[in-house]
Amino acid sequence: MKSQLFGLAIFAILIVIVSATKVRYDNYKVFKIRTQNPEQQKWIEQLASDSRNFNLWHSGVEGEVHIMVNPQKLIYLQNYTRSFNMPFEVMVSNVQSLIDGEQPPKTTDDLNDFGWTRYYPLSAIETFIDDILDKYPRVTSQIDIGTSFEGRKIRGIKISYKEGNPGIFIESNI
C-alpha cells in the first residue's frame, strides 16, 4: 500500500498544470516569403511580436521567412507582400491538420491509463487531480503555485504524511 501510494505521490508531484483551453489552428496557413532586403525581412519578423496573429517559424539570412498567419490576417499579409513585390507561397494550408496528424487517437477515458506517451486534454488532467485528492484526502492537498502567462491558475498536489514536513518540487518542464 505504501509503495503504491509512494508511486502515486511521485506521479502526482510531476504533474504541473497550466490551466489553458485547447487551442486550435484551423485554417492558419504558413507562408514562405522571399524578402529582398534586410528591412523587408525585419518587418516580417516584427509581425511575430503579434503572437495572436503571426508566428515566425523560420528566419534565415538567405532572405527567406516562414511565418504562420491567423486566417483573419491573411489578406493583410498578402497585400503587404504584393505591394513590395515579395514573392510568397503557401507551405502549409491548414496548420491544424499537421497537429491532428501528430496526436495519436484517443483510445480511452480511463484515468488509470495515464502515462507519458500522449497528451491529455486539460479536463482529463483536472479530473485526475481531483480524483487523487478525493482518493487520498489524508495525505494530499491542492496547491496553487502561481498563474500562467494567460493569467490562469497553475494547480498541483502536495503530498505529506505529517504537517510541517519539508516538501520537494519536481519540475516536469511543461
DSSP assignment of 61-119 equals: TTSEEEEEE-GGGHHHHHHHHHHTT--EEEEES-HHHHHHHHSPPP----GGG--SSS-
Q: Name the strand (E) or helix (H) holding 25.
A: none
> For residue range 106-122, what is the model confidence (pLDDT) as tens digits?
555 555 677 777 777 87
> For residue range 25-38, what is the model confidence (pLDDT) as tens digits?
999 999 999 998 88
Please give the average per-residue pLDDT across 80-87, as a whole number: 90
Is residue 11 over pLDDT 80?
no
* CATH 3.30.70.250 boundaries in the chain: 29-93
Is residue 17 over pLDDT 70?
no
Which fold does the domain 29-93 belong to in CATH? Alpha-Beta Plaits (3.30.70)
